[in-house]
Amino acid sequence: MSTLSWVLVGAVVYWTALLALRNRGALPSYVGTQGPIITLHTKRGRKLLDRLARPKRFWRAFSNVGVGIALVVMALSFVFVLFAAVSSLYTAEGTAVNQPRNVVIIPGVNEFLPLSATPGIVFGLLVALVVHEGAHGLLCRVEDIDIDSMGVALLAIVPIGAFVEPDQDSQRRANRGGKTRMFAAGVTANFAVTILAFGLLFGPVAGSIAVAPGAAVGGSFLGSPAAQAGIDAGDRITAVGGERIEDGDALEQALEENGDATVTVTLADDREVTVDRSAFVVEAADGGPTGLSADDTIVAANGESVNTEAGFRAAISEETTATVETESGEEHSFPAGALSTVDPDGPAAAAGMPEGDVVITAIDGERVTDRDSLTAILQDTEPGQTVEIEAYADGESETYSVELGEHPEGYGQVGVNVQPGVSGVVINDFGIQSYPADTYLAYLGGGEHPATNSFTGMVFFALMLPIASMFDPSVPFNFAGFTGHVTEFYVVDGPLALLGSGVFLIANLLFWTGWINLNLAFFNCIPAFPLDGGHILRTSTEAIVSRLPFEASYELTKTVTVSVGVTMLLGLLLMVFGQGLLV
């Protein structure tokens, strides 16, 4: 059974037991139930809130800032949800982010949140909920609104909400400004916790973590030479042929310089592993001209035996066509070059190159074998320069005189989108996927990266890390904290070194506390009931409508709030379930 199935079975068993206890009157008076959700009520803490609320001018000023922030975020969220909803209608396939299972923050169910991240996520969620509702309670007392009770809501043992129950009569007597500040206090507190958590993470905590020496292995391709040798996720390669290496780039360089069919590497645990290299296909373009597919192994090209990527490229370097033989005995012939899709509005199309896929094999007589060699040649050209481009279209070779456009970096541009590899085939003669440990640490303030030039940029990238592979295809892994085998790629150093591996725990707690608080604040700013944004929308609309020179203010306020709320609800539903409805 899948993880989701086990969760559903567990939920049914839990709900059945909960109903049985409630029907027998076995639940304490402070425990309430709403379906499968338990609510724990308490009246304790009200005196503490009264003491904390004494600097009323400070808290009102604090919440006024929050009201301004909430109004801006509400407007942006309205525009974003509408745009995303309309876009989904015209998108044939949804992304993994839009899948219903990935909408909920449940590790193991949400495919971006591994079970190993559970402690950090639960802690962050609990902090976010307590702070959010505690701020509501605090502003209730600042605005002299009585509180009936406070508590938390649990699904089994997982906190899914917290609440403050204001006295309804007291709330109705409060002025409009006081109620608005009270509703905005929760998101304001979440934003404040986000700044504190990420500030600590980006500063002393990430500064105490360093990347461990060696090439971090995020995984190995199934059936690849590395996989067959037993190298897998969590391993760290520290030497090749007895020569130490510091990172993934050094590993690639060492393998390129070592053209032997067999190579011995040393892992971080001092194991020596012998890898029999082969021209293993890790990626092949769908519908490409080669006929090859991922997991194929090329043993010969143009009559030459090959077992490394360098050997394969050398075999095809002179001829614009390649005939390869795979380990299974199949033979494939195809034009060998840069597989490109012609932009119908680009220079290549203007020169007569047909729309669709072509394979560019030469520019001004200089051999093109892949995207990198194409880019290297074009970097020596100028916009407006005319070049002779040899390309295969529908199996026939043609030469086109193309007047180059201008690339954003200033050199000549052909007007094509180029796929990686030789004719769309990517070969890896070792077979590992390197884990970008230094990049992720840099995003969190532990290294040099353009994104770390500002706190806002670092927060943005921290938010994206759990879905990193979705917005950056070059990154094959998502980052859910320093958990599991990921900790093998880092060492503790710097001011917090005395805490040892405890630094990883602190980093995870801060990461998820900041991440969840910020997302909870954004979510609660959605202008729809029963969220805080819906209440703020109502009080703000009442304030505007009350100044209009006509009656029927209640009806107009209700019309605005209901219309906005229904629009947001439909938008959110379309984002999740509406992919491709108008395609």
Q: What is the pLDDT along the chain (583 residues), one digit of tens a residue?
A: 555 566 667 767 777 777 777 777 777 776 777 666 677 777 777 778 888 888 888 988 988 998 999 999 989 988 888 888 888 777 766 565 555 555 556 665 666 677 778 888 888 988 888 888 888 888 888 888 888 777 777 766 666 666 777 777 887 788 888 888 888 999 999 999 999 999 999 989 998 999 999 999 999 999 999 999 999 999 999 999 989 999 989 999 999 888 888 999 999 999 999 999 999 999 999 888 999 999 899 999 999 999 899 999 999 998 999 999 999 999 999 999 999 999 999 999 999 999 889 999 999 999 999 999 999 999 999 999 999 999 998 888 999 999 999 999 999 999 999 999 999 999 999 999 999 998 889 888 866 666 667 888 888 888 888 887 776 666 778 888 998 899 999 999 878 888 888 999 999 999 999 999 998 898 888 888 778 888 888 888 888 887 777 666 777 888 888 888 888 888 878 877 777 666 6
Q: How far is CA 390 from each of CA 373, 393, 437, rounded to the nearest angstrom?
A: 14, 10, 40
* C-alpha distance across the termini of the chain, in Å: 34
Distance (Å, whole) CA 336 – CA 323: 9
Report pTM.
0.80
Identity of residue 305: S
- What is the Cα gyration radius of the chain? 30
Distance (Å, whole) CA 319 – CA 303: 12
What is the CATH code of the structural domain delimited by 335-423? Answer: 2.30.42.10
Query: Which residue(s) pair with 305 in the sheet?
Result: 300
Distance of CA 152 to the CA centre of its chain: 29
Tokens of 423: 């004719």
User: Do 222-277 and 335-423 show the same overall fold?
Assistant: yes
DSSP state of 92: S
Burial of 321 (0-12, 13-18, 19+ CB in 10 A): middle
Output the DSSP codes for 67-84: HHHHHHHHHHHHHHHHHH
Q: Token pair 């709900």 is at which residue?
A: 15
Distance (Å, whole) CA 28 – CA 40: 10
What is the CATH code of the structural domain delimited by 222-277? Answer: 2.30.42.10
Distance (Å, whole) CA 138 – CA 386: 71
Domain boundaries, the chain: 1-29, 222-277, 335-423
